[in-house]
Structure 1
Amino acid sequence: MRKVEIISHAAKKFKNGYPLIDKEDLRTTRDFKEGEWVALTLHNQFVAYGYFAEQNRGDGWIFSRNEEARIDEDFFSKLFNNARMNRKSLFTNKDTNAFRFFNGEGEGIGGLTIDYYDDYYVFTWYNLGLYQHKDMIYNAFSDAVTSYKGIYANLRYDTKGEPSTFKVRGKDAPTPLIVKENGLQFAAYLNEATTGLFLEQREMRKAIMNKYAEGKLVFNGFSNTGATSVAASVGGALKTTSVDVMNKNIDRMKEQFALNNIDPEKQEIRGMDVFGYLDYAKKHHIIYDLVVLDPPSFVRSKKRTFSVQKDYAKLAEDAIDITQKEGIIMFSTNAAGLTLKKLKEQITEAFANKNRSFTLLETFRLSSDFVTNKEYRQGNYLKTLVIKVD
């Protein structure tokens, strides 16, 4: 394995556990090779093993800080075996069979996540560099997880027109594959870029179902395929209103309701811009008891541009306007660049602008299966504030 000299500042952060490699960490970048595994050194003294890759964030990841480690099939197999052992309670949970099996840099392999859907596994690859070693990694996985129905690949980098989602090993999954979460049923599409079920929101949906929805009128903005609305309905909501701009998601919402024996015709489902609906609701004095907002990090349309980092306060003001006094608002985001502190500041700003006060009831972060590296704050990306409007 080739040695690559790094600067002293980089050596310090890598020794402390920081996992992301950046070109600026290297003494020279002339020999940057996609997918190359290297030994990072400072003054020719070992610091860490890692690999280089072009990706959306950084230029590679750390594998190990143990000089005695060998980065081979056995190395990866041990990581996958640890992941399997750490999720024993989920594998035996009769009410849930969809969860994160392996969470990238949080468990030792930045650039790769693996999700479990009722004995099917979806490998999501975030750069070509690591994907070049896919056969070794698939074999290592099969050594650790000896029984499965099938493996799917989801490529989240520029594939230059090649298929980005496909089966790798085993049997084809049904389309859709019906999975369980907290006793609810959801349709998952393993052969698509997104399966339709955001697994990191499992605990929030459980809280909505068990604590917040009963007897409430519920608004779910940016509702995707409606899993949150289903949780609210099963939890006793009087009615849910789900709004998403993508027409494809409208049919999927209806499917999710029907899977849980809920008549979608008795719910309100709108395929339209959420910001436009909020304007409509304010104009017509429509008020909700529970409002759930989980906007994308960035939205650009003919009428507006929205960034969670800059504009969440304005979205929060709109939410306040359509929420009953002493109602509940759940403000959520998976934007890694927006810290929990900054999100709280935007929400506080919104309430101040409305001359209103609030009580923070609880905060949700990633569930325990989404293992994170404490030195890499961006990896703990999910933030949900449960707010009571005073």
Structure 2
Amino acid sequence: MRIKDIIVDQQLIIAAGREKSLFRRHPWIFSGAVASVKGRPKSGQTVDVLGQNGQWLARAAFSPKSQIQGRVWTFDADERVDAEFFLRRIGKSAARRRRLETESDALRLVQSESDGLPGLILDRYAGVLVFQLLTAGAEFWRAEIIEALRTLFPDDAILERSDVDVRAKEGLAERIEAVQGEIPELVEIRENGLRLLVDIRSGHKTGFYLDQRDSRLAVGRAAAGAEVLNCFSYTGGFGLAALRGGAKSVTQLDASAPALELAVRNRDLNGFAPDSMTTVCGDAFQILRAWRKEGRTFDLIVLDPPKFVDSKASLTRAARGYKDVNLCAFHLLRPGGRLFTFSCSGLMEDTLFQKIVADAALDAGRTGRIVRRLTQAPDHPVELAFPEGAYLKGLEIEVE
């Protein structure tokens, strides 16, 4: 098949000198790099990306309302973007995760750009698929994506959870819709020996923080005999991993009463003693400061706060938040204790995060050593040409 047989009428023409990122196969095309748009493409429609000299560069989804005006589907001029494209790519992406099924029956099967499918998130929870369409391009191909899921997973229930703020940047409304089968209120999953109930209908993200699977395992391995504090605990994953690892006790701290109620159900589901776990509902910053005044201490603390950074403009404010919560943790840790501290903000670079944590330790009069760097689980891969895919960073610190 000749390239001209499949070239599309709609085109993005790249400004002179702005093609370099595409030559490196980076999938984003910012509006400032676009010299002109030809053919009046609709939002989400596929466009060919050409250089000033007419050189074909990529095939992308057009998003006129976003600062990222094009998201590349393919760098292969002979590859069509059609129903078969999505069936093929989703199938290959899911197949790459099969080796992880021994660890858990809850996995991320598609990680957006890092799996060559910008704007598509697909998680599988023990036979229930939950997907999100985050971009105009993914939304444009919604019917084909759903048909691919039905073909690849004919026995699975399917739920759409496109209820995320980022869709507004693409000019899209939020949507939650049961697509196939009966959607349970809660799904029971297994992870490294734990049984966990997940609220896929209204829980955080698609229901659970699958990206922290390896970090939960690391906490469990460090928790034997420890009194553990799990801050921003959600439904208790880190704390339950600590109990399975032999922790003496766990305190789960979160602002959501329903999340803590589910943490208690997860404790009981795993057969842990009722007095092994305490739940505290409230503002973590206020409660940690109060415990510092009371002189309360712990052997191991987990800090896994929500994303503090959603734009470069909010980076300074976020840095203060990260420093504040880590400062509290250093004050509450006993000598020889362990701090597991995380940032899930992609705009927070690793070096800056480490500096913030180091400054917090200094202000608290404590010293510490990083014994392990933590990142997202392998079902959340990072494509080599897309470093933005590496958003989760964590430090395991031994504190003196």
- Do Structure 1 and Structure 2 share a fold, with TM-score over 0.5? yes
1:111 alignment partner, one of 119, 141, 144 = 119
1:51 pairs with 24, 42, 61, which one? Answer: 61
Q: Residues 346-365 of structure 1 correspond to what in structure 2 (within 5 A)?
A: 346-365=356-375
Letter in structure 2 aligned against 1:181? E
Instruction: Deviation per CA, 1:298-331: give whole Å up to 9, x if none.
Output: 39xxxxx994334322321111100011100011
Alignment of 1:1-390 (within 5 A): 1=8, 2-28=10-36, 31=40, 33-43=42-52, 44-53=54-63, 58-91=68-101, 93=102, 95-143=103-151, 145-155=152-162, 156=164, 157-158=167-168, 164-169=175-180, 171-192=181-202, 194=204, 195-209=206-220, 211-298=221-308, 307-390=317-400
Whole-angstrom CA distance in 1 between matches of 2:186 and 2:240:
17
Q: 1:296: Cα distance to partner?
A: 1.6
One-letter amino acid of the structure 2 residue matched with residue 151 of structure 1: I
Residue 3 of structure 2 is matched in structure 1 by none
Report % sequence identity.
23
SS where residue 140 of structure 1 aligns?
A: helix
Change (3 A) 1:386 1:235: same
For this pair of structures, how many residues does the alignment match? 380
The letter of the residue matching 1:366 is: Q
Flag the 1:161–1:232 CA change in 2: closer, same or farther, 3 A.
same
- The CA RMSD measured in Å over matched residues stands at 2.4
Contact 1:165 1:193 in 2 (8 A): no
Amino acid at match of 2:157: G
Q: 1:146 to 1:199 in 2, by over 3 A?
A: closer
Q: Are 1:76 and 1:141, in contact at CA under 8 Å, matched by a contact in 2?
A: no
CA distance in 1, matches of 2:190, 2:250: 21
Checking the alignment, whether the CA contact within 8 Å between 2:308 and 2:321 is kept in structure 1 is no
For each residue in 1:88-122, what CA deviation from the matched residue of structure 2 results, as whole angstroms up to 9, or x when unmatched? 2123x1x5100111111001111111001112111
Per-residue CA distance 1:53-80 (angstroms, 9 max, x = gap): 3677733411111111111112222211
Distance 1:56 1:200 in 2: 27
Aligned mates of 2:51, 2:233 — CA distance in 1: 49
| Contact 1:293/1:331 (8 A) holds in 2 | yes
Write the letter of the residue equivalent to 1:7: A
Aligned partner of 2:219: which letter? Answer: I
Taking a change above 3 Å as real, the CA distance of residues 237 and 135 of structure 1, as seen in their structure-2 partners, is same
- Tell me how far apart the structure 1 counterparts of residues 276 and 268 of structure 2 sit (CA, whole Å): 11
**Partner Cα separation in structure 2 for residue 132 and residue 166 of structure 1:** 16
Question: What CA distance in whole angstroms lies between the structure 2 residues aligned with 1:389 and 1:197?
Answer: 29
Contact 2:43 2:63 in 1 (8 A): yes
Equivalent in the alignment of 1:302: none
C-alpha spacing 1:60/1:253, structure 2 compared with 1 (3 Å) = farther
Retained in 1: the 8 A contact 2:308–2:345? no
- SS of residue matched to 1:28: strand
Q: Which stretch shifts more, 157-166 or 252-261?
A: 157-166
Q: Which amino acid aligns with 2:45?
A: E
Contact 1:34 1:128 in 2 (8 A): yes
Once residues 359 and 252 of structure 1 are traced to their aligned partners in structure 2, the CA distance between those partners, rounded to angstroms, is: 34
User: Post-superposition shift, 1:273?
Assistant: 0.4
1:36 maps to amino acid: Q
Amino acid at match of 1:40: V
Q: Give the secondary structure class of the aligned counterpart of 1:362.
A: strand
Q: Which amino acid aligns with 2:81?
A: I
Q: Is the 8 A contact 1:290 1:327 kept in 2?
A: yes
Q: Tell me the distance in 1 between the aligned counterparts of 2:107 and 2:371.
A: 26
Instruction: Give the distance between the partners of 1:177 and 1:90, measured in 2 at CA.
Output: 19
Cα 1:56/1:235, change in 2 over 3 Å: farther
- Distance in 2 (CA, whole Å) between partners of 1:7 and 1:257 is 57
Q: TM-score, normalised by structure 2?
A: 0.89
The amino acid of 2:156's aligned partner reads: K
